[in-house]
Amino acid sequence: MHTITTVAELRRTLEKSRSADQRVGFVPTMGYLHDGHLALIAASQAQCDVTVVSIFVNPTQFGPNEDLSSYPRDFLRDEELCRGRCVAILFAPGAHEVYPIDFQTFVEPGDLAKPLCGSFRPGHFRGVATVVSKLFNMVQPDVAFFGQKDFQQCAVVRRMAIDLNLPIKIVTVPTVREQDGLAMSSRNRYLSEEERQRALAISRGLSAALDEFCSGERHVEKLIAVAKKHLEAVDRLQYLELIDGDTLKAADSPLHRSAALCAAAYVGSTRLIDNVILALPAQ
């Protein structure tokens, strides 16, 4: 595995793959890798000849009162995990490689960035769209892989790729969960044992609503009410919304198209997000 920290070296290394007509897969991460990231790597390796994993904790997607400075980091462990999975290139640029001095050009996503997390984390998706487009320019992958847990991020990135004519296929990989259902997240490590137990309310609420949906329930209010009962165990529910999977606007009731039930909640001081897809055949 090549561990690379500069764009110049990344381009040089990837030139060989490109001239051999190899398909380049890209897994952007902020490190502190878990099984969710490893599933993205596996998906890339199944579909591509060369897999590039990036590790960069992107300052522009954190708000002033968020956890940028305490965001979990363990580069050596991440490097070992990538080596163990036969990742071809681990790209770990420094802050100035990504944001040169006097940096002033951002990618501003539109309406998809406004609801859900966007309304609680102003500027978050501007930071995500900016860094992802920069990483796309650096890596120039054929395919890029994102986790479904970040449902809105997937929608914003997919839209950005279309709007900016990026010749990159965006693949969403299903959420990986702990055995008890908690969605894997680097932030889970902030949870105390007691909070970890209460955090299960999120996945349990979403999966109870999914069960109701699978039993035939189509009324949005009823599905939300089922999930909400479980979510009483969290400290602060930011949102629990049933949205159209394409527009991210409130889904029509009764449901007649596939939708996503999305939640964000604080357990202690940790903000967690999760979602389930309520899939209906296209009409």
Helix (H) or strand (E) holding 259: strand 259-267
Catalytic machinery residues: 37
Closest by Cα among 276, 262, 272 to 210:
276
| Nearest approach, Cβ of residue 132 and ligand PAF (Å) | 6
Between 29 and 238, name the residue whose CB sits nearer to ligand PAF. Answer: 29
Of 4, 30, 210, 265, the residue at the interface with ligand PAF (CB under 6 A) is: 30
Exposed e or buried b per residue across 25-38, where buried means at least 16 C-beta atoms within 10 angstroms of its C-beta: bbbbbbbbbbebbb
CB of 14 to ligand PAF, least distance (A): 19
The yes or no reply on residue 58 touching ligand PAF (CB under 6 A) is: yes
* DSSP code at position 183: B
Per the structure block, which two tokens stand in for 181? 């259902």
Among 28, 36, 93, 205, binds ligand PAF (CB under 6 A): 28
In the list 78, 150, 195, 274, the residue contacting ligand PAF (rule: CB under 6 A) is 150
Rule CB under 6 A: is residue 60 a binding residue for ligand PAF?
no
Helix (H) or strand (E) holding 126, with range, is helix 124-139
| Nearer residue to ligand PAF within complex by CB, 172 or 207 | 172
Is residue 41 close enough to count as binding ligand PAF by CB under 6 A? Answer: no
Q: Which of 4, 10, 26, 29 binds ligand PAF (CB under 6 A)?
A: 29
Residue 274 interacts with ligand PAF (CB under 6 A): yes or no: no
Could you tell me whether strands 24-29 and 143-147 are parallel, antiparallel, or unpaired per DSSP bridges? parallel
Q: Which of these segments, 23-31, 91-99, 100-108, 162-170, binds ligand PAF (CB under 6 A)?
A: 23-31
- The answer to whether 88 contacts ligand PAF (rule: CB under 6 A) is no
Nearest of 200, 190, 114, 201 to residue 159 by alpha carbon: 114
Phi–psi pair at 249, nearest 5 degrees: -90, 160
